[in-house]
Amino acid sequence: MEDPIAGAAQQAGKKSHPKKVRVVPESLRKFREIREAAEAGGPPDKVEAQKKRGKLTARERIAYLVDEGTFQELGLLMESRCTDFGIRDKHIKGDGVVTGFGRIGGRLAAIFSEDFTQLGGSLGRTHAGKIAKLMDMAADARCPVIGILDSGGARIQEGVDSLDGYGEIFYRNTKYSGVVPQISIIVGPCAGGAVYSPALTDFVFMVQGLSNMFVTGPEVVKAATGESVDFETLGGAMTHASKSGVCHFTANSEQDCFRQVKELLSFLPASRHEAPPTSETKDSDTRRISLLEKLCEMDPRKPYRVHHIIWWLADDHKFLEVHHNYAKNIVVGFVRLGGKVVGVIANNPAHMAGALDINASDKAARFIRFMNAFNIPILTLVDVPGYWPGVAQEHGGIIRHGAKLLYAYAEATVPKVTLVLRKAYGGAYIAMSSKMMGGDINFSLPSAEIAVMGPRGAIEILYSRQIKEAKDEEKEAMRAKLAKEYSDKFASPYQTASTGSIDEVIEPAQARARLISAFRLLAEKRRPGEAGRSGNIPL
């Protein structure tokens, strides 16, 4: 019996004169119509409204993020199973969310993008199921999950089913924490229970003037407390970037936001089973850092931005700061040293003298736990006068919050290298990756002071009677002399090095070379995937 398909193939290969118009089969035509309608998103008027707000559509956002032509969509034709309020009758393809896999910088990533043009991007059970399935597949594929959120929240027409849908997602956010990187991009409203999924992820991006996050909106706040507040003040990008700490990165536009996401991903491994990506650099490992020689001449109490030190140490002077606007007394972010990704935690004397407080402890502790989960070595730059004093700090739980920083450093098994820049006093010295807290290699500059407290404060306690009895015109000279003696005997880095609490006092200009060498020495300390999984719990 003749094979009709084979026969058609043979005929197609032959030249025909004249050329006949190819008739598209009805089933194929219908499929294309359905697919095109589904890819169009919501009704034209809803799409137009989205554009008028200055917002991109769900698929446009994915296109900005992924390498061209690499996105493979899943669940395009899925619909809500809700039969109430005419939801089922609307035959909304995709149920308000686009899900799939694409490549970003050539590397695989799982992406979902909520579609505000379809039922306001509200989350129903099918919508949630698509996201949950994507997250399961991403964990199996060992690639990051990126969520683009633009939603009116739970779909009230589906009742408790929509709440259960959020539960499905929250469960997976937690289950895969520390397994694959999770990134949330807020490009519209994110309210009520919906805010807790981003809060469970590793990094949150927001766009100024476009993004909002809050548990209860301005109207509810007004009714419940009498407080009048607008959307931006209550839950805008800068509010969460500077006050609550929920937001790690802010952007001026959606396009700028997606550029930042790509930059962040260039520093991250795809999963806990990989090392971070390496990068070629022409920057010499032995480049001298003359800035650190100048730092040795500075008064320990004089402020400066530690960013300058980080820039000079890093390959090509590039530093991706995380949480730039929050707890500015400590700086965290990513650099490369000798082509290898390293996470940096640094006290910042330009803000609150670089002292540790509640917010700084939380910020640094969570960042350390992320790096430990994803095999990223830790560099700690220390210039800390102690913990920030005050009733507000004590009542706010500085003891409890400060302990998180201690726990994070002690728990971390990735390579840890520490450099004391100018001073490290008291309990804050211990907390900042000291030798006894598990620091692998601890360096110090020659001018650094390492002690229970600063020399000036120490002599006021140790020599209080002598200073009190001295003549007024002699007191300042006496203080300076006693502080110098105390510093030389008790706060000298050589004294600390003699006990093994510092491994080596180094030449300031050679700091970059010594740090690169130290991390290379520790490169095999822990192989990716060997350590037991630890999730990145919000702190």
Catalytic residue among 427, 457, 531, 535: 427
Residue from 159, 167, 193, 426 carrying the catalytic annotation: 193
- Helix H, strand E, coil C: the string for 303-333 is CCCCHHHHHHHCHHHCCEEECCCCCCCEEEE
Residue 75: active-site member: no
Residue type, 203: F
Partners of residue 190 on adjacent β-strands:
213
14, with CB counted inside 10 A (0-12, 13-18, 19+), is exposed
The verdict on whether 451 is a catalytic residue reads no
- Whether residue 69 contacts residue 125, with contact meaning beta carbons closer than 8 Å, is answered with no
Query: Helix, strand, coil: what percent of the chain each, to 5?
Result: 45, 15, 35
**Which amino acid makes up residue 450?**
I
Q: One of 147, 192, 235, 454 is an active-site residue; which one?
A: 192
Rounded Cα distance between 116 and 186, Å, is 12
The question of whether 192 is a catalytic residue gets the answer: yes
Q: Which residues pair with 444 in a beta bridge?
A: 420, 505
Q: Contact at 8 Å (CB) between 283 and 316? A: yes
Instruction: Evaluate the omega torsion of the peptide bond into residue 18 and state whether it is cis, within 30 degrees of 0.
Output: yes
CA distance from start to end of the chain:
71
Question: Cα dist. 365→7, 59, 300, 377 in Å?
Answer: 68, 36, 25, 14
Alpha-carbon distance 12 to 6, whole Å? 10
Contacts within 8 Å (CB) and 24+ apart, 29-38: 34/77, 34/93, 35/76, 35/77, 37/93, 38/76, 38/77, 38/93, 38/94
Considering just the CA atoms, what is the radius of gyration of the chain in Å?
A: 29
**In angstroms, rounded to a whole number, what is the distance separating the alpha carbons of residues 162 and 459?**
64
**What is the distance between the alpha carbons of residues 298 and 295, in angstroms, rounded to a whole number?**
5
Helix (H) or strand (E) holding 378: strand 378-384
DSSP letters, 29-49, are HHHHHHHHHHHT-S-HHHHHH
Catalytic, out of 110, 194, 428, 513: 428
The catalytic residues are 192-193, 427-428
